[in-house]
Structure 1
Amino acid sequence: MKWGRRAAALLAGGCLAVGAGCAHAPPKLAPDVEARLEATPGGYLTGSVAGWQEAVVLNRRDFIWGLAFSPRGGRLAYTRLGSKAYFLSLWSLGPPPTLVADPSINPYEFDVEGVAFSPDGGLVATAGKDGVVRLFDAATGELRGERRTEEPLDAVAFHPDGGWLVTGSLKGLMTVLSVPALEYASEERGHVGPVSALAFAPDGTLYSGGWDKHLRAWRTGVEALRPGVARVRFERRGGSAVLGGTVNGKAPVSLVLDARAPAVALTSEAATAAGIDVPFLKETLNVPGALGTISARLARNQSVRFKSLVLEGVDVAVCDSCVPQGSQGVLGSPFTDRVEVAFDEVNQEAILTLKGGVPEGMRAVDSLVLSPRSDFTFPAYVSDVTVDARGQRLGVGLSEQKPERNRVVYERERKGVDEPQGPFNVGALVDAQSGQVLQKWPLHKGVVSTAAISPDGRSLATGGWDKRVYLFTEGDAAARGEHEFDWSVRRVRFSADGRHVGVAAWTPQVASSSGDSDPAAMLLGVRYTEPTITTPVEGAAAPQ
């Protein structure tokens, strides 16, 4: 069925289109099954899916990008594009579903696709193409923290213990940050090109998908690291190298590397953002400049951080005219006397190493570290990865065409030309240990943008740029359910208990007195033939 502006009337009348006809909505869960589910902590439905049942439209006016359910707490979150900014819409699933908060994230120029709940459901993380990861309170929408990374982001996932999260960038970098402080822990250049998806199994195994046609599994473990080396992205500006760092753990700054400069300098704006009370600085430092010697205010014993490398006791000159335009500071000889700098031109990274090694007094820092476990290669781009409740199976979205929207794609859509079907334009059930494709369904035309595995690992929901969402169950080649939207489907996800599938889609912008268009965020009920209740078995996750 195509969900247009008549969806509300159909729902109000209790009429749903299932397959080719229109019938009354199937009943909800039997009272005894629902009671057992409510009484089973961590419980979820298992069995063959039979199709959709009730549907609730949450949004019919925005482009919806990312969507996630909370593992606990009965909440749902999606990122939406408003007129001038991206927003994080936070819902209580009720019944009935209720919008509880709608905080802004970042300006509309920077897409926000990454969204994830913490394991306890108390926090929501977003990751956007402005390179910033943000933490929000899941109940109130209050911003709890943010950190700017070096590269545009499009994926985020929480470790099962809740103390760490991982972001994935458009350039293949996976960065581990602590929670809630968002302190840098470690990183791995996991893919060539975009990291399209990140998903943790209950045992802490991380699965990452990429446009390099690889799906990789990573072991995770906490190690005590004595940070003396950091790899930092740099760019060339006017013959100088510019690095990104933070001052006093507060202010992200771009710093020009210049060993000829006699001081480490910051602009007054950057110094203030770093917590330096500039007007009350008493000491000064003479700094030679193009127009003569400048008397700059001096802030002693500051800290400068580059990922895991921290320099303490740095004296900083506050001097606007000492800093090249477009930057916030200069790393002069006091920095290069302590740190050796080498350049990796291939990855555009500066390798910073403390001269003389790590000082004896420098405290080791506990960090979550990723190490490769498995590498599964597919004959198609990996657009999405999800993990079942036991960590034994994966739901994988695969596309023969690169899932990249461009003018050619928009022209085909405008003309109503369908993309071709293909043997690997599919959603697939994949064994998490071996990478073997257990079953795949090549029904979508063109890009399969998303694939969500059910908690029991037996069923799959998929969505694509052909405007369709399908529901499959293992052993059956036909779809058990189908919905058609009015534009590209961006994300589908199963709820933790298996009762619902959430859908994020784009909707055409139409002129109406209310501003409403066609459904863009929807909650679909999942109907099972003979549902039972189960919980993840201890130790049943994919072995290391």
Structure 2
Amino acid sequence: MKTDFQFSNLLGTVYSRGNLLFTPDGTCLLSPVGNRVSVFDLVGSSSYTLPFAHRRNIARLALNPRGNLLLSVDEDGRAILTNLPRRIVLYHFSLRGQVTALAFAPSGRHFAVAIGRQIEVWHTPSTPDVAEGDLEFAPFVRHRTYTGHYDAVQSIEWSTDSRFFLTASKDLTARIWSVDQDERNAQTTLSGHRQRIVGAWFSQDQETIYTVSRDGALFVWQYMLRYDAPDDADPDDDQNLQWGIAERHFFMQNNAHVTCAGFHPESKLLVTGFSHGIFFIHELPAFAQVQNLSISQNDIDYVAINKTGEWLAFGASKLGQLLVWEWQSEGYVLKQQGHFDAINTITYSPDGQRIITAADDGKVKVWDVNSGFCVVTLTEHLSGVTACEFAKNSVLYTASLDGSIRAWDLRRYRNFRTFTAPSRLSFSSLAVDPSGEVVCAGSIDSFDIHIWSVQTGQLLDRLSGHEGPVSSLAFSPDGSALVSASWDRTVRVWNIFARTQTSEPLQLMADVLCVAFRPDSKQIAVTTLDGQLTFWNVSDAVQENGVDARRDVSGGRKMSDRRTAANVGGTKAFTTVKYSADGTCLLAGGNSKYICLYDVQSGVLLKKFTVSVNLSLDGTQEFLNSKLLTAAGPEGLIDDQGEASDLEDRRDTTLPGAQKGIGARRTRPEVRVPAVAFSPTGRAFCAASTEGLLIYSLDNTFQFDPFDLDITVTPSTTLDTLAQKDYLKALIMAFRLNECNLIRRVYEGTPVTMVALLVKELPSVYLGRLLRFVALQADESPHLEFNLVWIEALLTSHGRWMKDNRAGLEAELRSVEKAVRRIQAELARLADENIYRIEYLLAQPAENKEKASKLDFGDKELRNEVDEEMVGSGEGDDDGEWLGFVG
């Protein structure tokens, strides 16, 4: 089995904190998720996560006007410059301070960054004005530092000509700055607001400035005569002019305050989000309300507007909501929300296309693996969901602390059966018979195992024998045995379908945390509290192998720990284990930052995956920094809420004693892996972590891997070769450059008659790339028959070679198979919908058949004549449309 799994995607969380960002074309949305960046394709309905990760949570994102350079900055001021189309990290750089605002100039030559109350303007690396032959020895060169604000800067907006930029600060002022040194326009201060300014913007003609403060006041600033100017002053003389307040408007939202605001200069639309979850759209300068909508029960943290002004993106960090609203049609383009609480359990659907997550917030979410979006949220449970499992008939079962086991039909997304015990119990473990006839559950409140019939919903039996709470249950894949693990240091094997329900106890040395069956039903893996991982033969009830995993699972130390990472207790045991699809490997995770992959036969640690390097979480660092230790304890644990500048931030609204929700406890989140799951195909696995649902895959196909390149292989020479009708050479040159658009041009420029010959002569080293590209085109391109011709030629000419090298082409062949199945299903559905039209045409006299066979869609008169005949006979659509199916 291959073990080179790579991070592929991050699900379960869509927005955490920071600013949202639209790409220049307005089709993709960038969202910071912890210390990573997720990209949501709003047109293609897919999402992916960039492969790099910061050492702390991301605070600000910025994208240059061309859309190819992404600058992300974390809470410590460390920046990463990324080539967004290639997903490659270019530079790491430290801005030496907490960044509160970040923006690229429209020209793309500079970017401005706010560090506290200072603003720094930097040259963009590889700017368009760098002359040929000039060498750029430093990727980041500071242009100027601007000082003048007395408190933290909240936002930065550039003028359209990139000569000026406008800043808004907590010191109740907005200021205009000149990029180049200009004595007359060095600095202009706009003051008059009574609370901190949330945002300030230029109008499209740059003759007007709009500022919005936290108390809901909108000021319109214009260049007008000075108040102390003489009566005969010349209005064209700059000495007599200054920026002044022309109009004042107020939102009047009672006790709610403005939390975010955005302005679109082209359409003159102002979007404001408030603390009670309502946003407003106003048209300026008339301040006419266009629309308002309640989208959340909590603060709206950030709003972004795309280039055309049609889509509005909102982020609410408290509930992890991400929304994209099309205000003209009043509909959602995107509406996603992650789990509010920690994810407890995960499972793959039998076909491997869906992942089910369940969390302490009582919600069960269904995620699509290909698109990365949440398909549906099931909310019937009243408390935290602790276990979920699929039966072979694609029925999902979930166990909850509310005392119920629920069965879900995931085709209709409804709860069709609910199982409960005679007394109120909080169920913590679940097992389902593979046939789907029996469901079992264990509880930490009772030592018995409850068994229900799925058909009738009645409680069939209660298995007694354990002397402690039941922690884990598992049915054998062949349905012959049930295995239960308990805190009484035993694992019991039950034969519940026999006449006498006896159990075979397996004695261990510590409390049992988790148990898993191998796919062949002959072996179980057991993990215990003392860090031991043991393998047992089910039929003989003997131990076959064991692994001391304490050193493997031991992770980092918490900020409050007084011991080293090697001696910290509570992290030295696996809490979840899962076998791979072929049973050769075992995946294990626990309350640490590591996921371990073991070889079952030898017990060797094959690979160790680090879940997170985010220092904002406890347990990610091996050594603590002595500089952060103070007399009052670690600096990160000191509550500085009373030092906040705003009254609302200083006010303590927590409930003493509450550990969740609005409790008074101030605890840092800890990195842990409560659940892992292998894909049924064996090509991927997922892990539930503190930051979300991490997916690791062998099919991570996006990579920039040019090979066999020389100075003669360029896009222009490739297109010249295509123009000379040397199609094979042009395709090979395009694959060497690995440019998707270039490959598509050569692919579509190849005549159909040349496809078979080209594929036959193609070197085998390019077959995998061509297979992958053809499968992608079959999903995206409208050229149906053309794509099928390519697939047929590939399988005809190189089918034997693909069979011999199937191990290295599994992902590509699976993509082609999926594309062909989808085309087949769509064509079958289309034929079924038009079967009566076809039968009608076949039943027509010879004259009408000849007319129909000669029918051309360009001949409108003949088509109208046939339509009238079909309508008169009662066939066809209501509007007389004919789809062109003939015998």
**Could you state the TM-score of these two structures normalised by the residue count of structure 1?**
0.51
Equivalent in 432, 436, 443 of residue 162 of structure 1: 436
Distance (Å, rounded) in 2 between the aligned partners of 1:140 and 1:384: 32
User: 2:486·2:513 contact (CA, 8 Å) conserved in 1?
Assistant: yes
Distance (Å, rounded) in 1 between the aligned partners of 2:698 and 2:492: 30
- Where does residue 593 of structure 2 map in the other structure? 467
Distance (Å, rounded) in 1 between the aligned partners of 2:36 and 2:489: 38
Distance (Å, rounded) in 2 between the aligned partners of 1:455 and 1:532: 18
Q: CA deviation at 1:441?
A: 4.6
Equivalent in 95, 104, 122 of residue 379 of structure 2: 104
Secondary structure class of the residue paired with 1:221: coil
1:70-89 equivalence runs, <5 A: 70-72=349-351, 74-82=353-361, 86-89=362-365
Q: Does 1:491 align with 2:598?
A: no
Distance (Å, rounded) in 1 between the aligned partners of 2:388 and 2:38: 32
Q: Does 1:146 align with 2:273?
A: no
User: 2:577·2:586 contact (CA, 8 Å) conserved in 1?
Assistant: yes
User: 1:447·1:466 contact (CA, 8 Å) conserved in 2?
Assistant: no
User: 2:36·2:50 contact (CA, 8 Å) conserved in 1?
Assistant: no
User: 1:172·1:189 contact (CA, 8 Å) conserved in 2?
Assistant: yes
Q: CA deviation at 1:530?
A: 6.2
- Where does residue 432 of structure 1 map in the other structure? 538
Distance (Å, rounded) in 1 between the aligned partners of 2:453 and 2:809: 37
Q: Does 1:523 align with 2:695?
A: yes
* Structure showing the higher strand proportion among its residues: 1
Larger Rg: 2
Secondary structure class of the residue paired with 2:37: helix
- Where does residue 303 of structure 1 map in the other structure? none
- Note the alpha carbon deviations across 1:416-469, whole angstroms, 9 max, x for none: xxxxxxxxx144443333341424251113232111111222211111112322
Look up the equivalent residue of 2:537 and give its one-letter code: D
Distance (Å, rounded) in 2 between the aligned partners of 1:461 and 1:527: 18
User: 1:499·1:526 contact (CA, 8 Å) conserved in 2?
Assistant: yes
When residues 437 and 111 of structure 1 are mapped into structure 2, their CA distance, relative to the original with a 3 A threshold, is farther
Query: Structure 2: any 5+ residue segments left out of the alignment?
Result: 1-5, 11-32, 40-47, 55-85, 88-335, 555-571, 618-670, 701-805, 811-887
Secondary structure class of the residue paired with 1:71: coil
Look up the equivalent residue of 1:371 and give its one-letter code: T
Q: CA deviation at 1:124?
A: 1.2
- Note the alpha carbon deviations across 1:276-312, whole angstroms, 9 max, x for none: xxxxxxxxxxxxxxxxxxxxxxxxxxxxxxxxxxxxx
- Where does residue 194 of structure 1 map in the other structure? 469
Equivalent in 436, 439, 444 of residue 553 of structure 2: 444
- Note the alpha carbon deviations across 1:174-195, whole angstroms, 9 max, x for none: 1111114321111202422221
Secondary structure class of the residue paired with 1:489: coil
- Where does residue 316 of structure 2 map in the other structure? none
Distance (Å, rounded) in 1 between the aligned partners of 2:393 and 2:406: 17
Q: CA deviation at 1:375?
A: 1.5
- Mean Cα displacement is larger for which, 176-185 or 214-223? 214-223
Q: CA deviation at 1:73?
A: 6.3
Equivalent in 170, 173, 181 of residue 456 of structure 2: 181
Distance (Å, rounded) in 2 between the aligned partners of 1:116 and 1:390: 18
- Where does residue 37 of structure 2 map in the other structure? 8
Q: CA deviation at 1:524?
A: 2.1
Look up the equivalent residue of 2:502 and give its one-letter code: S
Distance (Å, rounded) in 2 between the aligned partners of 1:491 and 1:198: 14
User: 2:419·2:452 contact (CA, 8 Å) conserved in 1?
Assistant: no
Q: Does 1:480 align with 2:607?
A: yes
Secondary structure class of the residue paired with 1:182: coil
- Where does residue 135 of structure 1 map in the other structure? 407
Q: CA deviation at 1:497?
A: 2.5
Look up the equivalent residue of 1:453 and give its one-letter code: Y
When residues 112 and 492 of structure 1 are mapped into structure 2, their CA distance, relative to the original with a 3 A threshold, is same
User: 1:60·1:521 contact (CA, 8 Å) conserved in 2?
Assistant: no
Distance (Å, rounded) in 2 between the aligned partners of 1:59 and 1:502: 16
When residues 69 and 370 of structure 1 are mapped into structure 2, their CA distance, relative to the original with a 3 A threshold, is farther
Q: CA deviation at 1:16?
A: 8.8
When residues 431 and 154 of structure 1 are mapped into structure 2, their CA distance, relative to the original with a 3 A threshold, is same
When residues 16 and 395 of structure 1 are mapped into structure 2, their CA distance, relative to the original with a 3 A threshold, is farther
Q: CA deviation at 1:61?
A: 5.4
Equivalent in 573, 580, 583 of residue 454 of structure 1: 580
Look up the equivalent residue of 1:448 and give its one-letter code: F
- Where does residue 391 of structure 1 map in the other structure? 521
Distance (Å, rounded) in 1 between the aligned partners of 2:350 and 2:468: 30
User: 1:492·1:501 contact (CA, 8 Å) conserved in 2?
Assistant: yes
Distance (Å, rounded) in 1 between the aligned partners of 2:483 and 2:682: 21
Equivalent in 397, 406, 429 of residue 125 of structure 1: 397
Secondary structure class of the residue paired with 1:106: coil
Q: CA deviation at 1:15?
A: 5.7
Distance (Å, rounded) in 1 between the aligned partners of 2:440 and 2:808: 34
* Structure showing the higher helix proportion among its residues: 2
- Note the alpha carbon deviations across 1:37-78, whole angstroms, 9 max, x for none: xxxxxxxxxxxxxxxxxxxx9957531011122334633212
User: 2:442·2:471 contact (CA, 8 Å) conserved in 1?
Assistant: yes
Look up the equivalent residue of 1:391 and give its one-letter code: S
Query: Structure 1: any 5+ residue segments left out of the alignment?
Result: 18-23, 26-56, 224-368, 401-424, 508-518, 534-544
Q: CA deviation at 1:162?
A: 1.2
Aligned Cα root-mean-square deviation (Å)? 3.5
User: 1:498·1:526 contact (CA, 8 Å) conserved in 2?
Assistant: no
1:31-50 equivalence runs, <5 A: none
User: 2:35·2:53 contact (CA, 8 Å) conserved in 1?
Assistant: no
